[in-house]
């Protein structure tokens, strides 16, 4: 079997998913209870998959390191979820969402997977409404839509600035129904330590109880990882502080290939860093760019308050440079332009590293009540943190790490290169290419969790028919011993530096050298510094307490040890890809007007990396990308 066999069905793209489902093998309802499935992660993708497989009659174990699935990071998504319903009659369609997503990802994603995402988006909205998700509605009761970056239609369904929270509550209630029915068993405050592979098939996981420190094994016929992305490699990001890459990374160490790790998204509208002691950054939803206008003073280092600067002395730089899309250009384009004007000396705020997001025009045009109805909770968040009323003065915003398009390589069935191991949502690389369009993250999580994995996992079970196995198999014991040895090693170093001090330093290296702009020199510099810092980490780490108790410092250190390794792979991948595409901006590869310049002749492929051991160079595998329905072209949003 080709290691990168994507298993894409033949035939017209609009029929591929139906063809795939028709060809799948099924499991008799009476036999489903005989099969066990593990789901790691209880956000939208994980909770959706666990609930749906449980409703089908399979035995499911669901693991989360949170005390409840309601704390999964899906809750932090603000702006909305895309659905090609064309309720606004503005020219939208499945084909247009497909094209927008391919173009927004700068032609570095699979056409077949992206079309399926767009195709199922219409089912997703129906699913959410049936669950009771309180989407915004107009006066007549019809569902409202708004626009997001990189598109010229309104297809985003939303619940003020709390869409992720409402969707997660819907998934949570579906999950709780199955827990009550006995088909799903929940394991809170439990973190994956390793993936167990027996005779070439993934047959379970090893976990650590975060309350007692106990190491346990759990067997299954199939394992789903729905554990999110790795943006917290940067230390400062919009992700929750617990968000990490450990589950996906431990799978990579066991043989699952990792795809496009250098494709990391920097969100353009976030609250800027205000203190050297800050531990995370706060997202301000992209939806705000529907009504907010981004500008800087035309004069460098202008110290006047924004309301003292007349219109004639303001530079609405995105509207000037991209008249067709204005402030709603894709995230990578907006973020780079914001960085550029700040680097040129036009930034505002105490650090001069932010720009204004101004709602004065929208309030005059629509009225204060309309803006409050659309974005009220976001304005409240901003005021709570800054003390400023964004209804009266512009917000100050600056780009921040937010999302990762890279992830475990998966085929059309969302199975990794390890048979029996599936990855859903942000944990896989599947749909977003080199840049994710806004409101597609929630869409992918729901599509993967409710619609794709509940179809492809049973096909795997019916096709492979895994042999019965239990945790007494010696491979489980070996994996448990390795997990204990790692925990003991971390807690026994007895150095002088805290886990956070190492993570902060690592994050700054990645932000400076592999952030919004990368160069050959910066990436080589990072690849020299990361191993040195990792070596110090394993010699000079200080953890108070042991591994048989609640120990958050130990939890952090365990995750940071993986961030060191993925940071190195991010830089290796970025150095190898000598083109610019989407969020991967190599300064050596740009057009005359500063846009990303792709090299389709040499780099029109998915980079899938194979682990060869610590200190050994990973091996690159390439999955060629073809574009039959959306022809390759230079992106333009002007």
Residue 584, SS3 per DSSP: strand
- Beta strands of 387-546 (E only): which ranges? 395-404, 407-408, 421-423
| Cβ-proximal residues to 265 (8 Å cutoff; 6+ apart), any chain | 231, 331, 332, 401, 402, 403, 404, 405, 435, 436, 583
CB 62 within 8 A of CB 184: yes
Residue among 289, 331, 577, 635 flagged as catalytic: 331
Q: What is the DSSP letter of 437?
A: P
* Cα distances (Å, whole numbers) of residue 462 to 25, 31, 221, 481: 6, 10, 11, 32
Which residues sit opposite 62 in a β-bridge?
Answer: 39, 186
Note whether 402 and 270 are within 8 A (CB).
Answer: yes
R_g of the chain, CA atoms, integer Å: 24
- Going by the DSSP 8-state scheme, the letter that residue 419 receives in this structure is T
Kindly list the strands in the beta sheet with 258-259, ordered across the sheet, starting from the edge strand earlier in the chain.
407-408, 258-259, 605-610, 619-624
**Number of residues that this document lists for the chain:** 638
Question: Distance (Å, rounded) from C-alpha 378 to C-alpha 372?
Answer: 9
Mapped to the 3 state alphabet, what secondary structure does 68-117 carry? CHHHCHHHHCCCCEECCCCCCCCCCCHHHHHHHHHHHCCCCCCHHHHHHH
- Give CA–CA dist 70/43, Å, rounded: 8
Q: How far apart are CA 362 and CA 375, in angstroms?
A: 12
Instruction: Establish whether 534 is a catalytic residue.
Output: no
Exposure string of 64-80, with b = 16+ CB inside 10 Å and e = fewer, is bbbeebbbbbbbbbbbb
* Other Cβ atoms within 10 Å of 492 Cβ, number: 11
Residue 208 contacts by C-beta under 8 Å, 6 or more apart in sequence?
190, 191, 193, 214, 215, 216, 483, 487
Q: Count the Cβ atoms, other than its own, within 10 Å of residue 320.
A: 10
- Asked whether the beta carbons of 341 and 296 are under 8 A apart, the reply is yes
Alpha-carbon span 104 to 441, nearest angstrom = 13
Element (H, E) at 17: helix 16-23
CA distance 588 to 585: 9
Other CB atoms within 10 Å distance of the CB of residue 383: 14
Distance CA 483, CA 215 (A): 8
Q: Which residues are part of the catalytic machinery?
A: 331
């Amino acid at each position: 079997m080709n290691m990168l066999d994507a298993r894409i069905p033949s035939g017209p793209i609009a029929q591929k998913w139906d063809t795939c489902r028709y060809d799948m093998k099924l499991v008799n309802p009476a036999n489903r209870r005989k099969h066990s499935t593990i789901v790691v992660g209880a956000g939208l993708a994980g909770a959706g998959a666990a609930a749906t497989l449980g409703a089908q009659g399979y035995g499911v174990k669901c693991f989360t390191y949170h005390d409840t699935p309601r704390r999964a990071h899906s809750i932090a998504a603000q702006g909305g979820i895309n659905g090609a319903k064309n309720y606004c009659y503005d020219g939208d369609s499945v084909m247009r969402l497909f094209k927008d997503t391919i173009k927004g990802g700068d032609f570095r994603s699979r056409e077949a997977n992206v079309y399926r995402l767009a195709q199922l988006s219409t089912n997703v909205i129906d699913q959410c409404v049936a669950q009771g998700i309180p989407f915004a509605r107009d006066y007549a009761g019809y569902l409202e839509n708004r626009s997001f970056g990189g598109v010229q239609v309104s297809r985003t369904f939303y619940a003020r600035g709390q869409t992720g929270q409402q969707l997660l509550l819907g998934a949570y209630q579906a999950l709780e129904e199955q827990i009550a029915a006995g088909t799903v068993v929940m394991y809170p405050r439990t973190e994956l330590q390793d993936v167990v592979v027996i005779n070439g098939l993934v047959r379970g996981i090893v976990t650590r109880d975060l309350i007692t420190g106990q190491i346990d094994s759990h067997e299954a016929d199939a394992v789903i990882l729905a554990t999110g992305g790795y943006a917290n490699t940067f230390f400062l990001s919009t992700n929750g502080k617990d968000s990490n890459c450990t589950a996906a990374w431990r799978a990579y160490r066991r043989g699952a290939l990792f795809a496009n790790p250098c494709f990391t998204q920097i969100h353009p509208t976030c609250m800027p860093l205000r203190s050297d002691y800050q531990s995370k950054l706060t997202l301000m939803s992209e939806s705000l760019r529907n009504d907010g206008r981004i500008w800087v003073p035309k004069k460098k280092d202008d110290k006047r308050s924004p309301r003292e600067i007349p219109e004639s002395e303001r530079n609405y730089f995105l509207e000037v440079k991209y008249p067709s899309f204005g402030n709603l250009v894709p995230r990578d384009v907006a973020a780079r332009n914001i960085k550029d004007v700040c680097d040129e000396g036009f930034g505002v705020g105490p650090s001069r590293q932010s720009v204004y997001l101004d709602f004065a025009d929208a309030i005059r045009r629509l009225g204060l009540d309309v803006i409050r109805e659309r974005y009220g909770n976001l304005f409240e968040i901003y005021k709570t943190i800054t003390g400023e009323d964004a209804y009266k003065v512009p917000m100050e915003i600056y780009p921040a790490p937010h999302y990762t398009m890279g992830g475990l390589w998966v085929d059309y069935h969302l199975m990794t290169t390890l048979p029996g191991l599936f990855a859903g949502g942000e944990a896989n690389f599947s749909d977003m290419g080199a840049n994710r369009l806004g409101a597609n993250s929630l869409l992918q999580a729901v599509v993967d969790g409710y619609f794709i994995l509940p179809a492809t996992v049973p096909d795997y079970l019916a096709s492979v028919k895994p042999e019965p196995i239990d945790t007494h198999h010696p491979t489980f014991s070996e994996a448990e011993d390795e997990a204990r040895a790692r925990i003991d090693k971390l807690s026994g170093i007895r150095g002088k530096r805290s886990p956070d001090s190492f993570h902060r330093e690592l994050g700054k290296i990645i932000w400076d050298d592999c952030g919004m702009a990368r160069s050959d020199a910066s990436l080589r510099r990072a690849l020299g510094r990361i191993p040195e810092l990792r070596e110090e980490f394993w010699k000079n780490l200080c953890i108070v307490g042991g591994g048989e108790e609640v120990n958050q410092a130990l939890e952090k250190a365990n995750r940071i040890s993986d961030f060191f390794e993925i940071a190195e792979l991010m830089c290796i991948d970025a150095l190898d890809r000598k083109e610019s595409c989407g969020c991967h901006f190599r300064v050596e590869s740009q057009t005359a007007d500063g846009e990303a310049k792709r090299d389709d002749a040499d780099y029109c492929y998915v980079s899938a990396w194979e682990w060869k051991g610590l200190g050994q160079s990973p091996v690159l595998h390439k999955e060629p990308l073809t574009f039959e329905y959306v022809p390759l072209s230079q992106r333009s949003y002007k």
